[in-house]
Amino acid sequence: IVMLCTCNHRYLPDLEALPDSQAGLGRHRCAGCAYKQGYDHAFDGQGRHLDIDSLNDSQAGTGRHKDVQAAYDLGYSHGLQERQRS
């Protein structure tokens, strides 16, 4: 069952610069959830693997209609940077 995302990460300013996506898998999925998933995977030392089916739905915020793969990749990049600092 896909839930509606109510987390504040739907409004991350970094999501505004992502490309729009109106088609394909992940349409209406939360770009903030994808970003967080990528960040967590990188910070925890996991390989890249976006699990679209685990993302909540969202139609709100700066991540509205944004490319979830691009959001995941951005989160992964930020997670790697943070991991290197710690």
Residue 16 has a pLDDT of 93
Task: Give the tokens for residue 68.
Answer: 């979830």
Tell me the per-residue pLDDT of 9-33, one tens digit each, with 9 for 90 and over.
999 999 999 998 877 767 789 999 9
Judge whether residue 69 has pLDDT over 80. yes
Task: Give the span between the Cα atoms of 32 and 63, in whole angstroms.
Answer: 6
- Measured CA to CA, the distance from residue 32 to residue 28 in angstroms comes to 11
Helices (H), the chain: 31-43, 68-85
Of the two residues 20 and 72, the one the predictor is more confident about is 72
Q: What is the pTM of this model?
A: 0.92
Banded model confidence at residue 86, pLDDT cuts 50, 70, 90:
confident
- Could you tell me which residues come within 8 angstroms of residue 24 by beta carbon, excluding any fewer than 6 positions away? none
